[in-house]
């Protein structure tokens, strides 16, 4: 019999709708002991680690989840399911993907509807996640996100709709598998990457989004001794308004690593434009062009790399692509 650890952290999947139609946290997690979703092939061990709305999640708590998973691996468990609020689910899942050894299946899931709403999806998603975590075919695929009968990689999945149950998508590549008749079926393989061993997480790693007419105001606000790193969602293929450049240079002069991604949800940042603020100039200035990650994922990766103590050269290599 497979032993699966269920780590509950809160979110809509553990909430209920009150008489006023508001979604609120429960004192007791309604899916913490869902015996009706299990069969005699799986034993689920429950750990109510947190009871937090998704916006309350921080990298410190992500590290606590990672440490609990490491304990499960040491105990010889067969897989882990993490239930999580959807607003920051992709960030926690990617943090785990970067820091958990690919030893046993780790699956993150959540819900778009609370436990007592009509059409509640939490119990179904939880069951599907357990089935994926218990399957031998799920080994060696990195951290997975299972929602709405689709299996996505933590590296590329993103929330695309505020309320739709089919919100989690992988824009460039699609899901790597599906859950059908209680079993995962895989159609793609994930290219593996380096896993960083962390015992702490750094603070003051920021994310800015470029916009038409942007100047150096926000960059200068981060020009201080506390700022550890910055990710910028640039325009198009990875460009910035020229008015930002003096302030960007001041950050670089402080040896603050700046990573550039595109604010487009598809495609990659690349240095193809040669004009003031174009990707070619930004690369020459010292910005790290990261290909394949959105802004929030790139921030998590930069935070992990800095927390792991990577040198400037190693950090640049680590951040250049989604795969490293």
CATH number reported for the structural domain that contains residue 90 in this entry: 3.40.50.1170
pLDDT of residue 25: 80
Residue 198 lies in a domain: no
E strands in 72-195: 79-83, 106-109, 144-147, 150-153, 158-159, 168-169, 177-180, 183-186
Residue 200 lies in a domain: no
CA distances from 178 to 13, 92, 132, 323 (A): 21, 22, 10, 23
Residue 199 lies in a domain: no
pLDDT of residue 9: 96
pLDDT of 137 higher than 60: yes
Residue 197 lies in a domain: no
Residues 81, 118 within the same domain: yes
pLDDT of 259 higher than 60: yes
- Measured between alpha carbons, how far is 32 from 38 in angstroms, rounded to an integer? 12
- Measured between alpha carbons, how far is 113 from 299 in angstroms, rounded to an integer? 28
pLDDT above 70 covers a percentage of the chain that reads 97
Residues 117, 40 within the same domain: yes
134-167 exposure pattern, b = at least 16 Cβ within 10 A, e = fewer:
bbeebeebbbbbbbbbbbbbbbbbbbeeeeebeb
- Measured between alpha carbons, how far is 204 from 48 in angstroms, rounded to an integer? 29
pLDDT of 107 higher than 60: yes
Q: Per residue in 141-184, pLDDT tens?
A: 999 999 999 999 999 999 999 999 999 999 988 999 999 998 99
SS3 of residue 87 by DSSP:
coil
Q: What are the structure tokens assigned to 180, written together?
A: 């059908």
SS3 of residue 41 by DSSP:
coil
Full domain range(s) for residue 274: 205-319
Q: Per residue in 28-87, pLDDT tens?
A: 777 776 655 566 789 999 999 999 999 999 999 999 999 999 999 999 999 999 999 999
pLDDT of residue 324: 67
pLDDT of residue 37: 58
We report the CATH number of the domain holding residue 218 as 3.40.50.40
Residues tagged active-site? 12
Count of domains in the chain? 2
pLDDT of residue 16: 75
- Measured between alpha carbons, how far is 301 from 201 in angstroms, rounded to an integer? 11
Domain endpoint, select from 153, 186, 219: 186
Q: State mean pLDDT over 253-279.
A: 95
pLDDT of residue 38: 67
pLDDT of 115 higher than 70: yes
Domain endpoint, select from 152, 186, 220: 186
pLDDT of residue 39: 67
- Measured between alpha carbons, how far is 202 from 220 in angstroms, rounded to an integer? 21
Residue 151: strand pairing partners: 146, 177
pLDDT of residue 172: 84
Residue pair 133/81 in contact by the 8 Å Cβ criterion:
yes
E strands in the chain: 2-8, 15-17, 23-25, 42-48, 79-83, 106-109, 144-147, 150-153, 158-159, 168-169, 177-180, 183-186, 205-209, 229-234, 258-262, 288-289
Residues 12, 92 within the same domain: yes
Residues 241, 182 within the same domain: no
Mean pLDDT score across all residues of the chain: 93
Residues 149, 262 within the same domain: no
pLDDT of 308 higher than 90: yes
């Amino acid at each position: 019999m497979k032993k699966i650890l269920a780590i509950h952290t809160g979110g809509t999947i553990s909430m209920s709708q009150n008489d006023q139609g508001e979604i609120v946290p429960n004192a007791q997690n309604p899916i913490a002991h869902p015996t009706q979703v299990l069969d005699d092939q799986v034993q689920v061990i429950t750990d109510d680690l947190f009871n937090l709305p998704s916006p309350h999640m921080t990298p410190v708590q992500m590290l606590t989840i990672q440490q609990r998973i490491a304990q499960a691996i040491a105990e010889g468990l067969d897989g882990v399911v993490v239930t999580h609020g959807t607003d920051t689910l992709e960030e926690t899942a990617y943090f785990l993907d970067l820091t958990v050894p690919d030893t046993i299946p780790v699956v993150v899931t959540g819900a778009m509807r609370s436990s007592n709403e009509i059409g509640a999806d939490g119990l179904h998603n939880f069951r599907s996640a357990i089935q994926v975590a218990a399957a031998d075919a799920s080994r060696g695929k990195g951290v997975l996100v299972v929602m709405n009968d689709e299996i996505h990689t933590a590296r590329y999945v993103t929330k695309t709709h505020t309320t739709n149950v089919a919100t989690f998508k992988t824009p460039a590549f699609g899901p790597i598998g599906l859950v059908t008749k209680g079993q995962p079926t895989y159609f793609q393989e994930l290219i593996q990457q380096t896993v960083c061993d962390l015992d702490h997480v750094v603070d003051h790693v920021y994310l800015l989004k470029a916009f038409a007419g942007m100047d150096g105001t926000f960059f200068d606000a981060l020009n201080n001794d506390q700022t550890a790193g910055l990710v910028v969602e640039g325009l198009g293929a990875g460009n910035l308004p020229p008015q930002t450049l003096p302030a960007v240079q001041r950050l670089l002069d402080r040896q603050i690593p700046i990573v550039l991604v595109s604010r487009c949800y598809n495609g990659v940042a690349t240095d193809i434009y040669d004009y003031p603020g174009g990707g070619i100039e930004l690369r020459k200035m010292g910005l790290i062009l990261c290909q394949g990650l959105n802004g929030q994922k790139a921030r998590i990766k930069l935070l992990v790399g800095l927390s792991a103590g990577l040198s400037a050269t190693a950090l640049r290599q680590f951040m250049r692509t989604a795969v490293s």
